[in-house]
Structure formats: structure tokens, C-alpha cells
A and B are shown apart, each in its own frame.
Chain A
Amino acid sequence: MVKEISTDAIWELLKAIPDPEIPAVSIVDLGIVRNVEFDDDQFKITITPTYNGCPAFSFMKEEIIRRLELVGIANFKVSTSLAPPWTTDWMSDEVKSKLKEAGIAPPSSKVKCPQCDSNKAEVISEFGSTACKAMYKCLECLEPFHHFKQI
């Protein structure tokens, strides 16, 4: 079979899939899609989970399959790899600023309030509404906010 679609085109399709829990960023932005290659007449897409217990992960896999089938691509396989383990170091500065715009403090060892940029913030809980976020409170503007945990 002739490869009619480029791997770049697959990347573009994947970039359009938002993270189900943080729709401001895509699954590519977050580094969940690790690799796309064309081999043996097949697109091989490798994804990695953020957290072991992330309930959104199976949804993401299904969404990838759905979006590719929607545009008529059938010769692909989505597989999961665990190593190297996912890390927030894979996030670009552009992605970090997208998170900040969405009101989520990007992963950092020095947590700053996404509203007023104050670095005076205290932890309310290391466990937020999703596995990847911790809850903080800004001591200057007093707004509560989420921090995307650095792991």
C-alpha cells in the first residue's frame, strides 16, 4: 500500500485533540504522544500515560482512534509505552504559557500565582481535582489556584 498521508499530517490531527481534563492544551502539548512513524504499511502511534491512575488516559486513546477513523485512516496502531516515564520537563515554554492563561500555574519548583504573578503562595492540598494538579492559595491576591505538579 502506498502511504498517502504523511506522518506530519498525523501529528497535525493529534495536535487538535485537547486534553479532556485541561482543554487549553492538546495531548501533543503535554507530551502524551511520544512517537508517530510509518512502518510496514502502518502508522504506529506511541502514547504514554501521565499518571498511572489518570482516568482520562483510556479516553485519549479512544479519541485518537476515533479522530483517525473519522478522516478515513484505517492502517494505524496505537500502543502504550511506560519507559521513559512521563515528565513535565517535556512541556515547552509555549505550553506553559497556555496553562498560565488558563489559570493553572505551570510546573515549576517555584510556584507563582497565575493571576498576579506573586510567588507568595501556600499549598492547600497536594492532590487536586485531577492527578496532575495540586491546590494552592495566593497570599497576595488571595485567589485559590491549581499548580500543574512538577514530576
Chain B
Amino acid sequence: MTKELLYKYVLALGDDALIIGQRLSQWAYKGPFLEEDIALSNISLDMFGRANLFLEYAATLKGDGATADELAFKRNEREFCNHILCEQPNGNFADTMVRQFFLDAFNKLFLQKLIESKDEQLSAIAQKSIKETTYHLRHSSKWIIRLGDGTAESHAKVQSAINNLWMFTDELFESNKIDHEMVKQKIGVDCSLIKVEWDKIIDEVLSEATLSRPENSNMLSGGRAGIHTEHLGHLLSDMQYLQRAYPDAKW
């Protein structure tokens, strides 16, 4: 029973990393300038690497010869359990940076706690990943400040991105049955406990960026239960195309 729950817990963490990695990879060769293009691709690679670690571990827990590739490329939309914030479209550069900033701040706090996990493999992945996420958060925070405190147009775009994406932020701190059990066994992270710190990071950066935090309204969730926005299906059809058309293709 625990093994099954642990599998689902790890799978969700893998899906979060995989889907945001795929989104960021869509910026490759389309970045606003060379250094930023490389930065976004680097962050995407970090997330793919992290997804690989989580999904390989999930595959081990699942057994029956399951592999990380199978989990990534042969599950359908409803079987993915990533947070819906991860699958939101890239939009303009401000939309991407706001999505990243919200996720980086969350990941930093989440990984800090996951290091203490009683599960050795989860703790090892967290210790490894926190170093990268620290860089990612510094990068996205700087952009939020630069865009918010920049021109009237950049300010308007980043504020509009914040307003549009805010509805997906509550889901990060929700707990389902699996989370509760994992927290009880000191394997998982109690996300309700990191919300206060997350708010603090967001408020500090937004205030320096002369931006404002929206009120909570129409907050949306469901990703952990496989209920997604219409964007995930499109992302998967692109990401999974090759393995669907040519099963087990290798190069």
C-alpha cells in the first residue's frame, strides 16, 4: 500500500518537472536574445534531468520492467498529475517569467523540506536539485524586478501575467490523500506549511518590482487528480509524437 502511494507521489513530482521542462524547451532558438535563449534552455535541461531522476525512481517503484521513458511518453493526459501551472502556455516573455518565478519560489521551499525526507532517494534528488533551483529563482526574480520596474509596457505585461496566472497558484499548496499519508510517514512535504514563506518571497519581489499581488478569485486546481486545462493535451501530442508514431524508437 505504501509503495503504491509512494509511486504516485514520486510520479507527480516527476510530472511537474517534465511538463515545465517541455514548456521551457519550446523557447529554444526563440529567446529574446542569445544569453536568455541559452538560460531558458539550460533551465529546461535541469528540469528534464530532474524529471528523469523522479521518473526513474517511480519506474523502479512500479516494477514490472517499467521505465522512465514509458512513463513520460506512453501515458495519456488524464494519467498525468502535474500541477496545472506547469502546463500553462509560454505566452509572451513576461508570462513565462511569472510562471517560472511562482514555480521556482515554490520548488526552492519544497526541496528544502524534501531534503529531510525519510526516503533516501527522494532526499538525494532534493539535495541535488536545490542547487539548481537556487540559480533558477535568482534568474526569474531578477527578471520580474527588471520587467516590473522597467518601461510602462513591460510593467503592464508582467502585471497582466501575474493577474492571469494567479488562479493556478493555490493548487501548489493543496494536499490530497497521498500527500497526507506521505507527510504522516515523514516521506513527503506538508505544502500548507510552506505557503507563508512562499507569500513572503512573492511579496518581497513584487514590491521591489512595483507590482501588486491580485486577490484570490476563481482559483483552479485538479492537476494532481488528472484534471487539466486544455493546454496539456497539445503539449503531450507534441512531446509524445515520436514514441507514439514509432514505438520504442531509439537514436
Binding site for B on A (CB under 8 A): 49, 51-55, 81-86, 124-129, 131, 135, 149, 151
Contact = CB atoms under 8 A, between A and B. Distances in A.
Interface of B: 35-36, 38-39, 42-50, 52-53, 120-121, 123-125, 127-129, 131-132, 135, 138-139
A51 B35 contact: no
A83 B124 contact: yes
Contact of A85 (B38, B39, B131): B131
6 contacts: A49-B128, A52-B53, A52-B132, A83-B120, A85-B131, A126-B139
Given A83-B120, A86-B128, 19 more contacts: A52-B128, A53-B44, A53-B45, A53-B48, A53-B132, A54-B45, A82-B121, A82-B124, A85-B124, A85-B128, A125-B38, A125-B39, A126-B138, A127-B39, A127-B42, A127-B139, A128-B42, A131-B42, A151-B131
B127 A83 contact: yes
Interface secondary structure of A, over-half rule:
loop
B35 A125 contact: yes
Contacts of A84: 127
Given A52-B132, A126-B39, A126-B139, A82 B49 contact: no
A54 B35 CA distance: 18
A52 B127 contact: no
Nearest to B138: A126
A87 B134 CA distance: 14
Contacts of B128: 49, 52, 82-83, 85-86
A126 B127 contact: no
B123 A53 contact: no
A51 B38 contact: no
A51 B125 contact: no
